Chain A
Amino acid sequence: MKGKLEEPVISAPKLDMKMAAEVERTLSPGADGGRQFDMDDFDILDAEQGADARSLELKGHVGFDSLPDQLVNKSVSGGFCFNILCVGETGVGKSTLMDTLFNTQFEDEPAAHDVPGVHLKSKTYEIQESNVRLKLNIVYTVGFGDQINKEDSYKPIVEYIDQQFENYLQEELKIKRGLHMYHDTRVHACLYFITPTGHSLKSLDLVTMKKLDSKVNIIPIIAKADTISKNELHKFKIKIMSELVSNGVQIYQFPTDDETVAELNATMNGHLPFAVVGSTDEVKVGNKMVRARVYPWGTVQVENENHCDFVKLREMLVRTNMEDLRETTHTRHYELFRRCRLEEMGFVDDDSDNKPFSLHETYEAKRVEHLNELQRKEEEMRQMFVVRVKEKEGELKEAEKELHAKFDQLKRQHSDEKKKLEEKKKMLEEEINLFNKKKQAAMAAQQQAQQAAASATQTIPKAHKKKA
């Protein structure tokens, strides 16, 4: 641990360190410089140990005043992370504002207007300043406000936020978990960009903010504020705030319980929503380079408090309340989500002694139930399958029989015809034989006839001779 050691203060005079004695009481002002304690201060020093708390005088320097340093050093070496969600219509200046806020070029191509639905695009960067490393995750909405039918525009945003909470919850519920190394992606701040119409909030804005206010810290800002004149701006802000209040939208209020920043935060709360102008172009004004937007009629300087509230936004978001935003997300929004989700899953807080059981037991019970359900369905499907198979088999058997029958029939037919043919063949052969015999007989007869004719001609000359 990289703590610093201090020299043991042996020679310190008897320091009169009176401290907060019994647990529930407020110190009289004057004893400790007039510090105000309220119940929240004693989150830890709560009621339960009232009987044992004693007032103690420390007789010397002990050294645990380095505890905050130890804590901070640990966190610094681990690095911080911060997740911002920018919700606003296309072209309202979200990426430019992020660039301006963090003094860098996060470089992005501008989004198109013809995206079919709303979706979210997230990018992660790491920035470092002195020894503080911050992992910054910026999520932009793409296509918000571009559709013709915007009824469902808020849904992807709510889903995204819920998904991050869900991931964290899953990690927290695991048996073997690594919460300390977990990359926290829960959205810590939502910058809602209001288009500078100058009249009032659009209904899309109201609906979206109403859906988001219990899930994330909303900081509404008026974008491209250089299109509104000062008077209009004042009226616009009042109108917006009154609409938010009348619709019951809970935006993030900067905390006023820490006396060092209470005053500042209270004033800032009165300036909401911040009217900002973003720009990454640098222009020479006077003898300094400042970020500004140049118009033919004048130059709007980003960091000039008379021109826009950018400095206020940066002060509040980054330099004063970043840690509070993270803490509120964890202790309020996440806890609400967790509670709803667990109740959804069927867990109930009973005051029995089996609390660790109840969570896991119910979880297990549900899982077993689900498994059983699945098994039952499997059985059903199996049964159905078997029945179908049988049916098919039956059908096939039938078909087989038919085929066999047909085959037999054909065979018979075939043999019948064969017989017939053979008979015919025999008959034909007999006829041929007969014919041949006849032929032979005929030929023999013819030969005889010829011979007879020949001998007759021979005898005639004989007869002639005789006569002569």
Chain B
Amino acid sequence: MSSQQGFTLSGKQFEALCAAFETADVQKRGSIDVQIVPKLVQDVLGSSLAPSEKDAIRLRAESKAKKGVLYFADFVEVMSETLQTTTQWGKLTTTLSGYVGIDTLQEQMRKKALKRGFEFHIMVVGGSGLGKSTLVNTLFKAQISRRSCTNESEGTIPKTVQIKSVSHVIEEKGVRLKLTVTDTPGFGDQINNENCWLPILEFINDQYEKYLSEEVNVSRKKHIPDTRVHVCLYFISPTGHSCRPLDLEFMKRLDKVVNIVPIIAKADTLTLEERYAFKKRVREDLEFHGIQFYPMKSLDEDEEETAINQALREKMPFAIVGSDREYQVNGKSVLGRKTKWGLIEVENKNHCEFALLRDMLIRTHMQDLKDVTDSIHYENFRRERLEMHSEFAGPTPPYHEMGESNL
């Protein structure tokens, strides 16, 4: 990122840089080693930088270095560029001597978000009878799934994978959410299941395509409707052994396109030990095949995030039991499945991990799911789409190199 025209450092900022440079330049050569630049920047700022930021700094330093050392002017340039891209200025923060009121920004932003409302798109994939619709109903405590609210006859299993979406607007404490649930009846139900992921892949890419074509318009809408799939819940059948080939194939092909959250369906058929062993095997399988499910390790930025996400990753895939029937337990009304040998409470953490799934999906990571879809999956799609098209024009050099000619 080039530095803006006219961007100058204030006196205090400049002094801090000078001081840091002089302390680093032990031999008074007027230059410092490229290797120590990231650490030096960190010292100047007095706060810890994310690894990605450190890499960026090192790249900048290396591009400006002459023979492996950085002179003061170049160091100033590197610092300026770093300051422009980060907001963690640490010690270089200007101190305020009174209340200004910028912390109201949070409130302002929240108000705007409330007014705008939110959107979320879940896709559920898995063989029929694994409890997809029940789970969605349980998650949102309402009759949301297609089965519950449309009048289609559910007798016949479709011959190909179909994609069916249903939208609802639900509201809680003033927060409005437009929830879209996409079901995939027919997945994995045929005798020959080759390429049954193709319609799903196509659907997801269609949503990206729709968004891209809106974004690329000359006159754009004020708010582009976001119908992109934010999370795909993949239901693994509780065989107790390991992942089926179909599961692996599907997840391998879709993990780079959408956030995949694998779950073990109908987990009440497994005892706790079986559950634990099954989960371990599934995780090993996924790792072996290089399948990255959400939350993805490569996206963790700071330690706090890594800790939270790692804890989640170790418990995934969540073992789920879904139910929309209520029973009375100790005077309280709980959701559960009643069997002859006992009552399985859906929201009891000792019985199944539904509560963990719900917390991650709705209460803590919903915004992150949307952000990852937007900034990673959608950007990948866009890049590939535009690159594919520019191939027709032939490999052309970047614009600024066109001035060269061979005269």
Task: Please give the residue numbers on chain A whose beta carbons come within 8 Å of chain B beta carbons, in ascending order.
Answer: 1-6, 8, 10-11, 17, 19-21, 23, 40-46, 48-49, 52-54, 56-72, 74-76, 78-81, 101-104, 106-108, 119-135, 139, 163, 175-177, 179-183, 185, 258, 260, 314-315, 318-324, 327, 331, 335, 338-339, 342-343, 347-349, 355-361, 364-365, 367-368, 370-371, 374, 378, 381-382, 385
Contact = CB atoms under 8 A, between A and B. Distances in A.
Interface residues of B, number: 115
Nearest to A303: B98
Contact of A127 (B100, B109, B139, B332): B100
Interface string B75-115: 00000000111111100111111111111111011111111
A133 B87 CA distance: 7
A328 to B, nearest CB: 11
A180 B84 CA distance: 14
A229 to B, nearest CB: 29
A94 to B, nearest CB: 15
Task: Give the interface SS of chain B, mostly helix, strand, loop or mixed.
Answer: mixed
B152 interface: no
Contact of B362 (A64, A319, A322): A64
B359 A5 contact: yes
A72 B389 contact: no
A70 to B, nearest CB: 4
B170 interface: yes
Contact of B115 (A10, A41, A67, A124): A41
A314 B218 CA distance: 36
Interface string B329-340: 000111100000
B363 interface: yes
B27 interface: no
A160 to B, nearest CB: 8
Interface string B116-136: 111110000000000000000
B173 A65 contact: yes
20 contacts: A3-B365, A21-B169, A23-B169, A44-B117, A56-B168, A63-B363, A66-B362, A67-B118, A71-B110, A72-B110, A106-B10, A126-B87, A129-B99, A175-B390, A322-B105, A323-B105, A356-B209, A356-B212, A364-B389, A374-B402
Of residues B11, B109, B111, B223, which shows the largest number of chain A Cβ atoms within 10 Å of its Cβ? B109
Nearest to A363: B390
Contacts of B120: 64
A281 B379 CA distance: 51
A54 B8 CA distance: 56
Contacts of B177: 64, 67
Interface stretch (B188-196, B241-249, B367-375): B367-375
Contact of A56 (B85, B144, B347): B144
B73 interface: no
A52 B100 contact: no
Nearest to A375: B405
B288 interface: no
Contacts of A20: 169, 171, 176
A134 B102 contact: yes
B95 A104 contact: yes
Contacts of A358: 216
Nearest to A18: B171
Of residues B83, B176, B363, which shows the largest number of chain A Cβ atoms within 10 Å of its Cβ? B363
Contacts of B171: 17, 19-20
Given A10-B334, A175-B387, A323 B112 contact: yes
A133 B89 CA distance: 9
B97 A122 contact: no
A180 B104 contact: no
Contact of B393 (A62, A64, A125, A364): A364
Contacts of A356: 209, 212-213, 216, 385-386, 389
Of residues B87, B88, B177, B368, which shows the largest number of chain A Cβ atoms within 10 Å of its Cβ? B87
B96 A129 contact: yes
A58 B407 contact: no
B16 interface: no
B170 A56 contact: yes
A258 B114 CA distance: 11
A137 B395 CA distance: 39
Nearest to A343: B218
A229 B332 CA distance: 71
B104 A319 contact: yes
A291 to B, nearest CB: 9
A189 B105 CA distance: 15
A397 B207 CA distance: 73
Contacts of B102: 80, 127, 129, 132, 134, 318, 322
A405 to B, nearest CB: 36
B363 A6 contact: yes
Given A58-B170, A183-B85, A10 B347 contact: yes
Contacts of B28: none
A359 B219 CA distance: 12
A163 B358 CA distance: 46
Given A41-B115, A45-B117, A74-B368, A129 B100 contact: yes
Given A3-B365, A49-B178, A327-B112, 17 more contacts: A10-B333, A49-B180, A62-B140, A71-B367, A80-B87, A101-B100, A104-B97, A123-B8, A128-B96, A133-B88, A315-B101, A320-B108, A322-B108, A347-B218, A355-B212, A355-B213, A356-B385
B303 to A, nearest CB: 12
A14 to B, nearest CB: 9
A53 B320 CA distance: 28
Given A132-B105, A331-B222, A355 B87 contact: no
Nearest to A60: B141
Given A70-B368, A103-B97, A349-B217, A1 B305 contact: yes
A347 B93 CA distance: 44
Given A20-B169, A381-B407, A359 B115 contact: no
B51 interface: no
A81 B87 contact: yes
Interface in B282-340: 304-305, 308, 332-335
B363 A76 contact: no
B341 interface: no
Nearest to B384: A175
Nearest to A1: B368
Contact of B101 (A44, A45, A48, A314): A314
A259 B114 CA distance: 13
B218 A79 contact: no
B363 A54 contact: no
A350 to B, nearest CB: 10
B155 interface: no
B6 A120 contact: yes
Contacts of A338: 218, 220
A62 B176 CA distance: 12
